[in-house]
Structure 1
């Protein structure tokens, strides 16, 4: 047989007292709402990051296309300068000489070579615009996701304060901020 006995301290008494009483029903609802908001916030946070990454990817693609277009325009200009030199050579040479015939043939060749280069440069500029527009759209959507995430996080923090203070007006405010955050979530989801 043991001579030991158990002594309960104030902390043990408080824990037993809290466990003996039923919890406030609104506390359970707030806890469930917090868990749901945390899940929605995690989705919004993920989507925000994914959209930002895609926006940066497309902005980078636009920069690459713009550089290639610039290269094509420089190539086009070089062909134009060679064409001008061939025209000058044809104008300064004797029309019956072999050099004149070569200059005229070069002038035509450079002129024919310029058109596909110009078309390629314009196509690359069109791609640049497409990628820039896509990046802007994704960046706008990213902002909506980020706003939704922020408001949902604020509502979760307010829910915790509500549980501690048990203030009804704070619970209403928490629900209001959560609804606004969910509104931004829906706007981001449908890319409004």
Structure 2
């Protein structure tokens, strides 16, 4: 504050002005930028890891639902088979041709119904397998995103150690581990 040419700074004003006028230089400045970039990329990787894990669970749930529906169809198929077997037994035990004709019609009807039910059950099982495959793919991607996130977290920790020890070779290690994390994230992005 000025009064008659005399200027008084607060205890931290000089440092704030200095920081605002000068960009960070040297190891600390590099590490600050590297850490900010790694943290930003790591946040994205973490989000993608969570999203793929949620997708895997949803696909697994859909697979279970389709498997249950297929099981219901197979139970229905079994019930129709039992009815058909009873109709075939009744055909063999029937004394009159009129009754035999009636049972032959029922047997043919049950056979047609069983074929439709079987086709529906097989289609539901195929859907269930498809959802299981999608779930497995999403879990693979989740693991890849998690590996990438972990590598970036290790890289950020190395940056902190580098700042404390002021060792340039640690900065290289920080960048190398961060690079591995980015490569793993790229693999996840490309579905490898």
TM-score, normalised to structure 2, is 0.86
Q: Which residue of 1 aligns with 2:43?
A: 42
Shift of 1:104: 1.7
Gaps of 5+ in 2: 1-10
Q: Which residue of 2 aligns with 1:6?
A: none
Shift of 1:108: 1.3
Q: Deviations over 1:85-115 (max 9, x none)?
A: 101100111132x433322221111111111
Distance in 1 between residues matched to 2:176 and 2:117, nearest whole Å: 59
Q: Which residue of 2 aligns with 1:191?
A: 191
CA 1:72–1:156 in structure 2 vs 1: closer, same or farther (change >3 Å)?
A: same
Gaps of 5+ in 1: 1-11
Counterparts in 2 of 1:1-192, with a 5 A limit?
A: 24-96=25-97, 98-192=98-192
The total of aligned residue pairs comes to 179
Distance in 2 between residues matched to 1:51 and 1:58, nearest whole Å: 10
Instruction: Give every structure 1 segment of 4 or more consecutive aligned residues whose post-TM-superposition deviation is greater than 4 Å.
Output: none
8 Å Cα contact 2:27/2:166 also seen in 1: no
Shift of 1:161: 1.4
Distance in 2 between residues matched to 1:82 and 1:73, nearest whole Å: 14
Distance in 2 between residues matched to 1:29 and 1:169, nearest whole Å: 13
